Each structure stands twice: as structure tokens, then as C-alpha cells.
Amino acid sequence: MTSARYVVVGAGLMGAATAWQLAGRGEEVVLVERDVPAGPRGSSHGSARIFRYAYADPFYAELVVRSEPWWARLERGAGRRLIDRVGGVDHGRGREPERLARVLEAAGVAHELLGPARARSRWPQLTVETSVLYQPGAGVLDARAAAEAMVELAVAAGAQLRTAWPVRGIARTGAGFTVSGPGGETLDAGHVVVAAGGHLPDLIGELPLPAAFLAGLPRLRVRQESAFHFPYRDPDRPWPTTIREDGGLPVYSLPGGRDAGFRGQKVAEYHGGRPLRSAAAQDGVVDPAHRARVVAHVRAHLPGLVPEPYAETTCLFTSTPDEEFVLDSAGGITVVSPCSGHGGKFAPLLGAMAADLATGATEATGAAGVPARFRPGTAARRRRG
């Protein structure tokens, strides 16, 4: 049996970030993963996530700004670029570009608000009917490379990594926990961080957490999302990331990078996928009706792409009802669930916050602490006295 002060469950972006932060602070960490870091059955695989500042809620725009120095630190440590700043375009009535511009203005984030005619001449590969918010600092985040880099840095700082190590149970034993894995193996831990992505709905009820804390956590819903890669008509034209929202579900697109052989744009509906009970129910099968909707969108709104996908993938969204994150701790267990389809861009900062929660330090968060809105379990415990 191995013992460690901290066992982190899950090596997606969030578990990797937490392990990196803990190990970097000199803590003893074992990071366990049922598959491989940022594996194909989680939420962190692949080479493309949108890194953007444009949020209608100023809290999240400011959180992106706060995450910047953590990305810079990670890129320095990894010795490679993880965010490709291709710029970001937000448009459509539902996206409210003017409102986004006001939020970015207040947050001190570089941006431009363009009328539709100017936007059309700048990005002829898009159909544009409304004003456009452009963020030059937005871009494409290489999710798998970022997760792998954080795991490597954690291991370099002394963390142990166990792959193909599905956690079967977490039991309280004395002052700590026994974490059970495959083949009867166990780990002793002083504190457990659970960053299990879409598996969290199955695990959460089994965790030895206080009842009031558990009752306060929002319901986590898992969806199997699909994304499609479409070839560029003009391979030499640079593409930004895009989000268009016009009545129906928002549709986003971004240069697909490595996954797309660098020759196409990844396009997907936001929250358009099939609800699952948990990650255990995923089948990786793309719904043909979903594909047809995205192809129709490309035909109508992305004229710079050939409307025939040459590759496709599925991925898991694990969302709270209000798309907020969960980053909370009680009785020696920290629960980390920042997905809701938009958590990737904050990963190193959230890892630092999770490490703060686990250690009781304030290194990442300073006097402000982890935002109260990420801590529904703690709020519920307080309410119940």
C-alpha cells in the first residue's frame, strides 16, 4: 500500500492542474487515472478549445484575465505554446456583441466592435448580419497538450502518476481515507481531490461527504456532445474562433489544429448533445440528426467551409443547471467539476484554487478566496448550521 498526503482522482485538465499545483508547492501527490491523461473518453481530449474573454457575466471575463498569468507560467514550464491567439469573433443577436464589448471594456480586455459591413469584408468566410465583437487575444487552447504538460510538470515536481487505475471506492479511515483501485490495490490519503469529469454523478453519492454538503451541490448533467471538422475552401485564409447565437443554440467554430490535420475548422453546437446518466453510458456514436443540423449551419453561415465534415468526435459536457463551476471542499474531500462546456480556459487557475481548498492555503486566491458561487456545498452546510 502507498500513502500520500493527497490523492487526486482524474487526470483531465482539472485533475492535472490540481496535481501540478499541489506538487509544485512541495506536497506529496498521487494522481490516479482510470485511462490515460486527457484520454478519449473524457472532456479534455483533442487539440482545440476556445480561449475567449467574451462573457456576458463580468465575473467570468475577469476570471479569464486572472487565468492569464497561470497560462503564462504553464507555457514557460512546458517550454511550448498552448494557446494559439488567432483572435475570436462573437456575433448574432443572441450573443449581444454590444453587451460583451461593455463587459470587456470594464475588464480592460482589448477588443473591437465592428458593424456588419466591416465585419463581412474582414471575414468573408462568415455570414454576418449583426455587429461583431472581436477579441484579438482569444484563440485556440490545445487541451490535451495542456493536460499532458501539467501532468509532466507534476511528475517532475515529485508527483506519482497511476494510469489504468480506476478508483473503485473512497472510504474514511481514521484521520484520512483509503482509496481502492484495481486488483485490490489501495492508497492511503490524507485528503482526496475528486476531478472525475462525467463520472462524478456516479461517484458523488458514494463519497464520504457530509449530507448537508452533498445536498447543496447542484445536479450535474452529462451530455455526449459531437463536434465536426470541415475543410477550408481557401487553406491560406486565417480563421478566428467564432460563436454565433441567433435564436437557437449557439454554434461555435475554431481552427481544429492537430486533430483536424490543420486543414479544417471544428464546428459544434453548444449543449446540443444527448443527455446521459453519466460518463459510463457514453457510446461515442455521433447522432446523425445532430450532424445534419451542424452541416446545415455550415452551409448557411460558414461559406468559407466545404459543408462536408471529414472528421468527427464526441466529448462529454458535465454541466450544472446555470453553467457554473463546482469547486468545493468538506471533511478532507475536494470536489472539482468545472466543465459546463466552458471550463478549459481556466484550468491552471482552477487547479490553483483547488490546491488552495485542499491545503487550506490562499496562494492562488489571496484574501478573496475561492469564489463563493463555486462553493454551493459549503453554503448549504452553513445554512443548516
What 3 state SS string does the chain have?
CEEEEEEEECCCHHHHHHHHHHHHCCCCEEEECCCCCCCCCCCCCCCCEEECCCCCCHHHHHHHHHHHHHHHHHHHHHCCCCEECCCEEEECHHHCHHHHHHHHHHHCCCCEEECHHHHHHHCCCCCCCCCEEEECCCEEECHHHHHHHHHHHHHHCCCEEECCCCCCEEEEECCEEEEECHHHCEEEEEEEEECCHHHHHHHHCCCCCCHHHHHHCCCCEEEEEEEEEEEECCCCCCCCEEEECCCCCCEEEEECHHHHCCCEEEEEECCCCEEECCHHHCCCCCCHHHHHHHHHHHHHHCCCECCCCCEEEEEEEEECCCCCCEEEEECCEEEEECCCCCCHHHHHHHHHHHHHHHHCCCCCCHHHCCCHHHCHHHHHHHHCC
Is residue 266 at the binding interface for ligand FAD, with CB under 6 A as the rule? no
Is residue 7 at the binding interface for ligand FAD, with CB under 6 A as the rule? no
Pick the closer one to ligand FAD by CB: 229 or 342.
342
Pick the closer one to ligand FAD by CB: 131 or 282.
282
Is residue 222 at the binding interface for ligand FAD, with CB under 6 A as the rule? no
Query: What is the footprint of ligand FAD within residues 149-168 (CB under 6 A)?
Result: 166-167
Pick the closer one to ligand FAD by CB: 3 or 180.
180
Q: How many residues bind ligand FAD (CB under 6 A)?
A: 37
Q: Which residue is nearest to ligand FAD (CB)?
A: 12
Query: What is the footprint of ligand FAD within residues 10-69 (CB under 6 A)?
Result: 10-15, 32-35, 39, 42-44, 49-50
Pick the closer one to ligand FAD by CB: 216 or 343.
343
Is residue 177 at the binding interface for ligand FAD, with CB under 6 A as the rule? no
Task: Select from 114-122, 151-159, 333-341, 357-365 the region that touches ligand FAD (CB under 6 A).
Answer: 333-341
Q: Which residues bind ligand FAD (CB under 6 A)?
A: 9-15, 32-35, 39, 42-44, 49-50, 143, 166-167, 195-199, 225, 227, 315-317, 338-339, 341-345
